[in-house]
Amino acid sequence: MIKTIYTTLCFLVVPMCFWGQTVNVSYLNPTHGNGDPYKFVRFGTSSDYQAGFMWNNTAANFGDGDDFSIFTYGNRDMTFNTGTGNFIVFPSSGGNVGIGTKNPVSKLQVNGDFYLYSNDAYDTGWGKTHFYWRRHSLIMGSPVGTYSHNTIELKPGGSTRGELFSSLQLFQALGENNHEERIKITSSKSHPTYFNAGKVGIGTNNPSTVLDVNGKTTVNSIKIDGYNQVSSVNGYQNKIEFTGGGHGAIVFKPGDAKELMFGFHDNGNFYWGTGRSATTPNYYAMYLNGSKGHLGVKGKITSSEVKVKIGGWADYVFEETYELPTLSEVEKHIKEKGHLQNIPSAKEVAKNGIQLGEMNMKLLEKIEELTLYTIAQEKEIQTLKAVQKQNTTLEERVENLEKIIANLLNTQTNEK
């Protein structure tokens, strides 16, 4: 039978004081009541009594029947003062202790609030109260079969002195009285929340990194200050890593009409644009073939400088073995083909585009050919100028001779 309070009282020999006298008794049989429903003895006088012991058989308002009760009257407290000893409640047959209930279902059942208080404090003056348990785990929760959600709320009562916050702190015991704080979760905006206890998994119970999130993550901004200690090719410091799947992308406004993406593929390609689908099979603004180094841009490129590396240059035009076409041959090719020799036509450029390095070399070829034509023409001009000068000199000499002859003829005529 469940006992409300089981107290081992040695009534075999109980010293009791009656008006300054000591009476030794082996048994105490109360005379108040006849046992149905109870018997009791009071402390005090017949007109002023304060407390008592009760032998309760069937009265439900003092227990559940078959009880031994200690009670007080009025607003008096019940105090157990053990001196330097301990106060022990020890149900000998597996009974339970109830506070606020007559039918406790566990070793200690408290119906009502539970209040802990201690005068202990840290050196800083921060008050503390200890709550210890002996085994490894402390399990809290509703009993089996009880439909009750389980929630732990850390809620300061509030004070007129200022704002109060809640926090949960987890320590690692490095030895006796040697603790290191590893995890702190706080409700305060001015105090940090941090995890410094190994890998953290969200959506997974087997995290492989410091923070392993299995699912979507929404953040306002990301600051990367550091890198993965396991470097990649050429010893580069990994800031962002994509490790799962055959392809991945950084997407701006996914699914939106203004969606933009920067994608990666395990075939070595990189893509910039809005992606592509069956309706827009080639809608990348730019792509890069990482293995071959090919770069494709759909649109204009603005740059302060472009460097193109090619395998050769057009200096072969200046070699003695180079067969420089005559201007007649150039004229004939233009009339027949409509463009310079070794230069693609407008139709070819519209269809295939141009290779920037190759085209620059071909244009330089034509510039160097024009340079040779100009040099040849300059030589011819200088030759013509020399001939013209000689002709001018001859003309002057002829003119002088003609004057001399005319003077001679005039002189002969006058002598006659």
Domain range for 260: 239-302
Strand order across the 67-72 sheet:
38-44, 49-56, 67-72
Rg of the chain over all Cα atoms, to the nearest angstrom: 55
In a domain, 104, yes or no: no
Which neighbouring-strand residues pair with 263? 249, 271
The answer, yes or no, to whether the previous bond of 281 is cis (omega within 30 of 0) is no
- Asked if 194 and 259 sit in the same domain, the reply is no
Read off the DSSP letter of residue 194: E
Shared domain for 289 and 325, answered yes or no, is no
* Residue 404 shares a structural domain with residue 335: yes
pLDDT < 50 positions in the chain = 1-17
Cα separation, 190 vs 187, in Å, equals 9
Half-sphere exposure of 47 (CA within 13 A, CB side): 0
pLDDT at 34: 83
Is 223 part of a structural domain of the chain?
no
Give the count of domains, the chain: 4
Residue 148 inside a domain? The answer is no
Cα→Cα distances 219→216, 223, 234, 253, Å: 10, 11, 31, 14
Residue 149 lies in a domain: no
- Is the residue at 222 inside a domain? no
Q: In terms of domains, do 69 and 1 share one? A: yes
Whether residues 296 and 324 share a domain: the answer is no
- 319 and 398 share a domain? yes
Are 297 and 344 members of one domain?
no
User: Is 251 exposed, middle or buried, given 0-12, 13-18 or 19+ CB atoms closer than 10 A?
Assistant: middle
The domain boundary residue, chosen from 95, 121, 150: 95
Query: Are 251 and 278 in the same domain?
Result: yes
Residue 263 pLDDT:
86
- List residues bridging with 56 in a β-sheet: 38, 67
Are 269 and 191 part of one and the same domain? no
Same domain, yes or no: 195 and 268: no
Domain stops at, among 49, 72, 95: 95
Chosen domain end from 40, 70, 95: 95
Same domain membership, residue 262 and residue 210: no
Local structure of 242: helix, strand or coil: coil
Q: Are residues 273 and 354 in the same domain?
A: no
Query: Has residue 294 been placed in a domain?
Result: yes
Rounded CA separation 368/324 (Å): 10
